[in-house]
Structures are given as C-alpha cells and as structure tokens.
Amino acid sequence: MDRTGVRGAVRRAVAAALVLGAAGASCTSQPATSGTDTQASTGGDSGSSSGSEGTTSSGTSSATTDAPTSSTSSGPGPGSSDTGTTGTTGEATGTGSTSISDTSTSTGEPDLGPCPPGKYLICESFDDTEVGAIPQGWVRHGDPIAVADDAAVSGSHSLKMGPIPVWERRIYHDAAALGSGHWGRVRYKVALPVPDAFVHSTIVALYGKGPTTGDQEVRVVDTVKEDADGWNNDGNGNHFQYLYNVQPNGPEFGKGSDYDWKFDDQWHCAEWHIDGPTQSYDFYIDGAIVEQISIANGPGNYAGSEIPDAFSEVRIGWVNYQESPPGFTAWIDDVALDDERIGCQD
C-alpha cells in the first residue's frame, strides 16, 4: 500500500472507531519497539511510518485510536534512566526543584528568578543545572533529553528534547506535594520543520490511581498533530489539537479540541488546573482557556475524567506514540505547580 493509501486507511479506521465509540486502543508508556506485535503497536500498516492518529475528535470523550503497545503504562521506556544529580563532569548540579539560584545581581540583591525558594510547590527553571545534565530531584527516562543553553525564556537554560522517531524523552519528579488538586504552568516551543505524520505527543503528564481505573497516566498538556494532507485530506495539514487524555491499564479515553494550532518555533505558555474532588480540568494556552476540553463532572462522577485524588509523579518532556521520523525537537522552561494559578507573567 502506498503512503497515500496508508493514510486514507488510517483515517477511515479512526473515523469508524470514533463513530462506534470503540475503546480498545491505547497510547501506552511503552515504545512501539517493545515485545508486542509491530502492527498492533502502531495501529496501522506495519510498513508505514505514519502510524495512527491517536486522537479524540473535537468535543468528544471517546477513546483514542492507537493500538496497545504494552500491558502497562507505568514503566519507563528504553534508554537512560538516571537521577538528575550529576552533570557531564560528574560534579553535583542543580539546587532542587523549589529553588533556582543564590547568585546576586549587579546591585548586590539576590537574583531569585522565576523560582524563589518556597514560592511554589514544585518549580524548575533549569538555570542552576549544568548543560547536559538533569536537575536535582528529577529522574531521566529516555534520551536525548538534557538541560541546554540554545533557547530559554527566563535565564539562559531550558530543558531540550532531541529528535528520535518514536518514544519517550522525559524527566519525572515526585508529586506528593500536590495534594488533591493543583495548577500547573510550563513554557514550551517546538522546532520547525515538524515530522509529516499523524502523531499523538505528550508534553506534561501526571501519574496516579484513578477512582475506578487504577494506575494510570493523566496527560494534561497533550497534542495530536495532523500530517501534511490534513484530517480527511482537507488540505488543512500539519495543524494540531490539544486534548485531555487518560491512559489506564486498558483503553485510553479523552476529550479533544479542534485542530486549530500549528507548531511555529515560538515559545508558548501552557497552563492547567486539575482537581480530584470535583472531577474538573481546564487547559489554557497563552492565557486563553481552551473550553472544548474543559471537564466539570462534579464529585463522584468519574466517566471521562477519572482524576485521582493524589498523584505520585509529574512527568515533563516529550513522548510521541507513533513513528514520526526524523522526530521532534522541543524545549521546556519555567515549570511551576502550585495550589493557586501561576499565570504566564512570571
């Protein structure tokens, strides 16, 4: 089957799954190169590099359409997995996730940056971490991912994820401090050109036990990108949607926006609010709420949300679940999570 035929078949399969409310698919936290069947793990023709779309249609809570890649979504992917305490020279780096710097300005006043000690429950600006290393308190999963100095919003460092065709480049942090609800903020940018593929990619996720679904990853800054031909060959290609997406040890589910955005090699501010007791979620991009993916189920109503009362980990970086060579290059900066809204001004 040629590439156009593969794309058409994938789109038809996705559309049929959404119409029928099929729930047998997952974007799991294991790579397509795991011990499962190659075709099943990509959700499409095993000879294709385009993979499946992995998307919820706009305004729906039906399952996404990526076939399972593993029986679990909790484990780290292949590649390096190390605690962020050493740099390339083996020297200790970083000062912890809630403190940024104890250097002084030219006036002698401390330069506290965006992460003054104690201001937020979790905060990381990457400026106290050596280039090539991972900040203290975070653990690396996958590669290539490290602090870099070729792009930043505040200070001179950010977290850079290099390109690979598929899978995880993320860092994990303990999330016990977050309690039953929190606000979060990250700044991110994605280099151009981006791969020509329908691909589901996660930037920020949380890990915990769903009220009825057990261990799961809750993806709070999540995207699905069209290929160059666009959804249903509409010519509006390479746009992406934001979505709320949950991957338990079974079929994933979520709620997606329209395909209204494009990666543009510019910095953007993504915010979220998530709350277990009220089963509610909101997402904001550059200060504007994306109402299509808001959830307000209310206490005890878990369908389509399954928000845990507590999270054990926060995971940031990049993971794409379908083959998309040569891969994405992206940066993250100014990570903050707290009880109150942080905003995009700090």
Determine the pLDDT at residue 109: 54
In a domain, residue 346? The reply is: no
In a domain, residue 311? The reply is: yes
Determine the pLDDT at residue 23: 36
How many whole angstroms from its chain centre is CA 287? Answer: 18
State the CB neighbour count (10 A cutoff) for residue 254: 27
- Paired with 314 in beta bridges are 173, 206
63-78 residue pLDDT tens: 343 332 332 333 333 3
In a domain, residue 303? The reply is: yes
Determine the pLDDT at residue 233: 75
Q: How far apart are CA 125 and CA 104, in angstroms?
A: 16
In a domain, residue 334? The reply is: yes
Determine the pLDDT at residue 276: 98
Cα dist from 181 to 62, 104, 244, whole Å? 24, 35, 16
Residue 126 zone, left/alpha/beta (φ > 0; ψ -120 to 50; rest): left
Q: What is the 3-state secondary structure (H, E, C) of the chain?
A: CCHHHHHHHHHHHHHHHHHHCCCCCCCCCCCCCCCCCHHHHHCCCCCCCCCCCCCCCECCCCCCCCCCCCCCCCCCCCCCCCECCECCCCCECCCCCCCCCCCECCCCCECCCCCCCCCCCEEECCCCCCCCCCCCCEEEEECCEEEECCCCCCCCCEEEECCCCCEEEEEEEECHHHCCEEEEEEEEEECCCCCCCCEEEEEEEEEEEECCCEEEEEEEEEEEECCCCCHHHCCCCCCEEEEEEEEECCCCEEEECCCCECCCCCCEEEEEEEECCCCEEEEEECCEECHHHCEECCCCCCCCCCCCCCEEEEEEEEEECCCCCCCCCEEEEEEEEECCCCCCCC
In a domain, residue 345? The reply is: no
Q: How far apart are CA 168 and CA 110, in angstroms?
A: 37
Determine the pLDDT at residue 240: 96
Q: Which domain holds residue 170?
A: 3-338
pLDDT in tens, the chain (346 residues): 344 443 444 443 333 333 223 333 467 655 433 332 222 222 222 233 333 333 344 444 433 433 323 323 333 333 446 665 444 333 333 333 333 333 344 455 555 678 988 999 999 999 999 999 999 999 999 999 999 999 999 999 999 999 999 999 999 999 999 999 999 999 999 999 999 999 999 999 999 999 999 999 999 999 999 998 887 777 777 899 999 999 999 999 999 999 999 999 999 999 999 999 999 999 999 999 999 999 999 999 999 999 999 999 999 999 999 999 999 999 999 999 999 999 998 7
Q: How far apart are CA 188 and CA 268, in angstroms?
A: 5
| 68: nearest Cα among 199, 318, 320, 251 | 251
Determine the pLDDT at residue 38: 26
Determine the pLDDT at residue 83: 64
Q: What total number of domains does the chain contain?
A: 1
Q: CATH number, domain at 120?
A: 2.60.120.200
In a domain, residue 115? The reply is: yes
Determine the pLDDT at residue 346: 72
**Is there a contact between 87 and 129 (Cβ–Cβ < 8 Å)?**
yes
In a domain, residue 226? The reply is: yes
Q: How far apart are CA 269 and CA 285, in angstroms?
A: 6
